[in-house]
A and B are shown apart, each in its own frame.
Chain A
Amino acid sequence: MKVASQDFLQQAHEALRAKDKVERRDLLGQFMPAARDAAANAYGDFDGLRAHMKRVRGHTTEHLAHYLQQFEEAAVAHGNQVHFAATAEQLNSTVLSICQTHNARRVAKGKSMVTEETGLNELLLKAGLEVLETDLGEYIIQQAGEAPSHIVGPAFHKSLAEVRELFLAKHKLGERALESVSDIVEEARGVLRERFLAADVGIIGANALIAEHGTTMLVTNEGNGDLCANLPPVLIICTTFERLLPRAEDAMALQRLLVRSATGQSHTCYTSFYSGPRREDDVDGPLETHIILLDNKRSDILASDYHEILDCIRCGACLNHCPIYIGVGGHAYGWVYPGPMGSVLTPLLTSLEQSHDLPNACTSCGRCAEVCPVNIPLPDLLRDLRQEESAQQLKPARWRRGLRLHAWLLRQPVLYQRLTGWSMSALGLLGKRRGAFRRMPFASGWTSQRDFPAPEAGGTFMRQYAARKRRGGRRG
Chain B
Amino acid sequence: MAESVRAALFARLRERSPAPAEPAEIARALAAIGYATAARMPHADLHTAFIANVLANKGTLELALDRGAAVRAIGRYLYKRFRTHKLVAGNDPRLAAMPWRDGGVLPRFGAAEPGDAAALSYARLGVAETGAIVTFTGRANPGRNNLLPEDHLVLVNREDVVATLEDAWAKIRLETGAGAWPRGIQFIAGPSSTADVEAQLVLGAHGPRRWHVILVGDTPAQDLEQARGELPEA
Point out residues on A near B: beta carbons under 8 Å: 24, 28, 31-32, 42-45, 48-49, 52-53, 55-56, 59, 62-66, 68-69, 78, 83-86, 90, 134-137, 140, 153-156, 158-160, 163, 181-182, 184-186, 188-189, 192-193, 196-197, 213, 215, 221-224, 226-227, 229-231, 241, 246-249, 252-253, 255-256, 263, 266-279, 281-285, 295, 299, 302-303
Asked if B144 is at the interface (CB within 8 A of a chain A CB), the reply is: yes
Q: Which B residues lie at the A interface, using CB under 8 A? A: 2, 5-6, 8-10, 12-14, 16-17, 20-21, 23, 26, 29-30, 33-37, 39-40, 53, 56-57, 110-111, 114, 130-132, 137-140, 142-144, 146-148, 165-166, 169, 172, 181-200, 202, 204-208, 232
Q: How far, in angstroms, from A78 to B185 measured CA to CA in the complex?
A: 14
Option from B9, B37, B39, B205 in Cβ contact (under 8 Å) with A266: B39
Interface centre among A134, A153, A272 (most CB of B within 10 A): A272
- Expressed in whole angstroms, the minimum distance between the Cβ of A312 and any Cβ of chain B is 18
| Chain A residues closer than 8 Å to B34, beta-carbon distance | 52
In the bound complex, CA of A131 to CA of B229 (Å): 47
Chain B residue, CB-CB nearest to A85: B5
9 residue pairs, one from A and one from B, having the closest CB atoms: A223-B207, A137-B196, A253-B36, A222-B205, A230-B143, A252-B165, A65-B13, A267-B130, A271-B187
By a CB distance below 8 angstroms, the chain B residues around A64 are: 13, 16
Contacts of A256 in B (CB 8 A): 36, 39, 165
Provide the residues of chain A in CB contact with B190, threshold 8 Å.
267, 269
Least distance between B103 CB and chain A CB atoms (Å) = 25
Most buried by A among B110, B140, B166, B206: B206
Q: Chain A residues near B13 (CB, 8 Å)?
A: 64-65, 68, 299, 302
Task: Give every chain B residue within 8 A of A68 (Cβ-Cβ).
Answer: 10, 13
A77 to B5, CA, bound (A): 21
Partner of A135, one of B21, B146, B172, B196: B196
Question: Given the complex of chains A and B, what is the CA–CA distance between A274 and B114 in angstroms?
Answer: 22
Cβ of A185 and Cβ of B39 under 8 Å apart?
no
Query: How far apart sit A35 and B114, CA to CA, in the bound complex (Å)?
Result: 36
Contacts of A83 in B (CB 8 A): 2
Within the complex, the shortest CB–CB distance from A71 to chain B, in Å, comes to 12
Contact A163–B114 (Cβ < 8 Å): no
Return 6 A-B CB contacts under 8 Å, by A number. Answer: A69-B10, A197-B114, A221-B205, A267-B57, A267-B132, A302-B13
Contact A272 B187 (CB under 8 A): yes
- Select which of A181, A224, A247, A263 is within 8 A of B197 by beta carbon: A181
Contact B2 A279 (CB under 8 A): no
Which of A45, A154, A230 contacts B147 (CB under 8 A)?
A230
Closest CB-CB distance, A29 to chain B, in whole Å?
11
Q: For B1, give the chain A residue with the smallest CB separation.
A: A90
- A224–B30 Cα distance when bound, in Å, is 34
Cβ-defined contact, A227 with B206, below 8 A? yes
Partner of A153, one of B30, B56, B140, B199: B199
Among the interface residues B169, B182, B191, B195, which one has the most CB atoms of the partner chain A within 10 A? Answer: B195
